[in-house]
């Protein structure tokens, strides 16, 4: 059932919600074919060999599929016109390249879009619902991608932190968020363009990706790595690694691997300059404290003035926003090529904190700026549709452990 709803009455800022679907509409379990999206080239070759594609054809077939999936963005084997019809049929019999279902699509007054996608159970448990946010900016656009449904961590200012971890997302589910956004925004090159394989590097609507949606990406390392390496593959989606930022609350042992194995930009959710306060705001600090975290940052592979770490700092009224905190922040980050991103706190139903006053945020930013750091204040986007940082939370419920294990083995932590 697809309906169009105008929810302007409930949201005076006139957001619109289109194509919504009732989660309860869906019937029971469906046997799902395994996805091809999210497989590395080697894994793709292996599954193709498994359905009888001759060894000598594997490289070519992988290249063809890669092009259709990630350059042209097709979601149907039937559209892969340079692959023989009978092979397309065999592929369709065994695999899927289908997109998730769009449960809802909301557009904020400021142009921000939020989607709620529903992914099939993939052989175990129930479907899961995931939120993805698109933030259009002058000359670029950033997609905020989720890595987990819920989160195991419980940062006290974050709405996602109130939702228990349902499960890790697979590489397919992480990449599908990017593919869906490009579908919905009309951001795939026209199939009829004479260039064919050309991947426009400029002027794309989804030009940047931030792993800042639901979940802690470094607690889902392998799937996030696979997805980001596919997203940055030059023969596919072709997003530069400089335009991909992974944000972590501070899972110290995985930070070096992020630089070495993924090579993307890093953002750290710092939020406090003293361990006693960070223990409360970002409780993973009790395991890896500020000193351990900053040591890992200093050692981040590839770190340089041209490739700085972004430190995120949520502005909480009367909690972490004093001049003294700003000075301590500057002192702590000395010697680390860094940018500081001040995030006005985005409230959510039941949150205990308030956002710092604007003058306070500016005074804090001044101290940081005077010390030589760029410290942009992140403009809250999409608050009217609950799409701003830390406001995401889906209604998916926690699965039983055995189902979570079957769906995504790493999620059992």
Residue ranges binding ligand SAH (CB under 6 A): 155, 157-158, 212, 216, 247-249, 269, 312, 314, 343, 345-346, 389-390
Which of 67, 393 has the CB closer to ligand SF4? 393
Min separation Cβ 159 and ligand SF4, Å: 8
Min separation Cβ 209 and ligand SF4, Å: 16
Query: Among residues 292, 369, 304, which one has the least CA distance to residue 335?
Result: 304
Residue 212 binds which of ligand SAH, ligand SF4, none (CB < 5-8 A, kind-dependent): ligand SAH
Query: Among residues 67, 69, 49, which one has the least CA distance to residue 58?
Result: 49
Considering the candidates 155, 297, 355, 389, report the single residue annotated as catalytic.
Answer: 389
Which positions ≥6 away from 77 have C-beta within 8 Å?
83, 88, 89, 91, 92, 97
Which of 105, 216 has the CB closer to ligand SAH? 216
Min separation Cβ 154 and ligand SF4, Å: 6
CB 406 within 8 A of CB 124: yes
Question: Mutual orientation of helices 358-370 and 323-332 as an angle, nearest 10°?
Answer: 30
Using CB under 6 A as the criterion, which residues of the chain lie in contact with ligand SF4 when the complex forms? Answer: 151, 153-155, 158, 160-161, 215-216, 249, 269
CB 211 within 8 A of CB 147: yes
Which of 105, 131 has the CB closer to ligand SAH? 131
Whether 158 sits among the annotated catalytic residues: the reply is: no
Which of 151, 272 has the CB closer to ligand SF4? 151
Residue 343 binds which of ligand SAH, ligand SF4, none (CB < 5-8 A, kind-dependent): ligand SAH
Considering the candidates 129, 131, 216, 254, report the single residue annotated as catalytic.
Answer: 131
CB 150 within 8 A of CB 396: yes
Q: Which two tokens stand for residue 317?
A: 């009224």
Whether 389 sits among the annotated catalytic residues: the reply is: yes
Min separation Cβ 221 and ligand SF4, Å: 14
Instruction: Quote the radius of gyration of the chain (alpha carbons, Å).
Output: 22
Return the active site residues: 131, 389
């Amino acid at each position: 059932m697809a309906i169009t709803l105008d929810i302007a009455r409930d949201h005076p800022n006139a957001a619109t919600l289109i194509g919504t679907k009732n989660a309860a509409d869906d019937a029971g379990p469906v046997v799902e074919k395994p996805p091809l999206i999210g497989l590395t080239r080697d894994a793709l070759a292996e599954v193709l060999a498994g359905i009888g594609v001759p060894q000598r054809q594997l490289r070519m077939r992988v290249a063809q599929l890669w092009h259709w999936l990630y350059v042209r963005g097709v979601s149907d084997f039937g559209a892969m016109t340079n692959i023989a019809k009978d092979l397309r049929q065999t592929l369709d019999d065994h695999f899927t390249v289908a997109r998730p279902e769009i449960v809802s699509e909301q557009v904020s007054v400021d142009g921000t879009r939020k989607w709620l996608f529903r992914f099939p159970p993939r052989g175990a448990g129930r479907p899961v619902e995931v939120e993805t946010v698109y933030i259009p900016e002058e000359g670029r656009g950033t997609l905020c991608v989720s890595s987990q449904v819920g989160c195991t961590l419980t940062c006290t200012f974050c709405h996602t932190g109130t939702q228990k971890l349902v499960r890790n997302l697979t590489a397919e589910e992480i990449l599908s968020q990017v593919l869906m956004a490009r579908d919905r925004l009309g951001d795939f090159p026209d199939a009829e363009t004479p260039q064919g394989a050309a991947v426009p590097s400029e002027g794309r609507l989804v030009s940047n990706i931030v792993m800042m949606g639901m979940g802690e990406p470094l607690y889902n390392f392998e799937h996030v790595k696979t997805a980001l390496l596919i997203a940055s593959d030059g023969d596919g989606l072709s997003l530069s690694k400089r335009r991909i930022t992974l944000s972590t609350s501070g899972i110290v042992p995985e930070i070096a691997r992020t630089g070495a194995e993924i090579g993307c930009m890093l953002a750290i959710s710092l939020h406090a300059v003293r361990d006693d306060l960070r223990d409360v705001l970002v409780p993973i600090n009790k395991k890896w404290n500020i000193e351990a975290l900053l040591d890992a940052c200093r050692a981040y592979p590839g770190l340089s003035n041209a490739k700085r770490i972004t430190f995120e700092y949520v502005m909480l009224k009367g909690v972490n926003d004093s001049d003294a905190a700003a000075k301590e922040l500057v002192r702590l980050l000395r010697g680390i090529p860094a940018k500081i991103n001040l995030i006005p706190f985005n409230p959510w139903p039941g949150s205990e904190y308030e956002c710092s006053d604007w003058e306070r945020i500016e005074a804090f930013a001044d101290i940081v700026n005077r010390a030589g750091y760029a410290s942009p204040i992140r403009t809250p986007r999409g608050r009217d549709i609950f799409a701003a940082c830390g406001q995401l939370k889906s209604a998916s419920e926690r699965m039983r452990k055995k189902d979570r294990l079957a769906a995504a083995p790493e999620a059992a932590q």
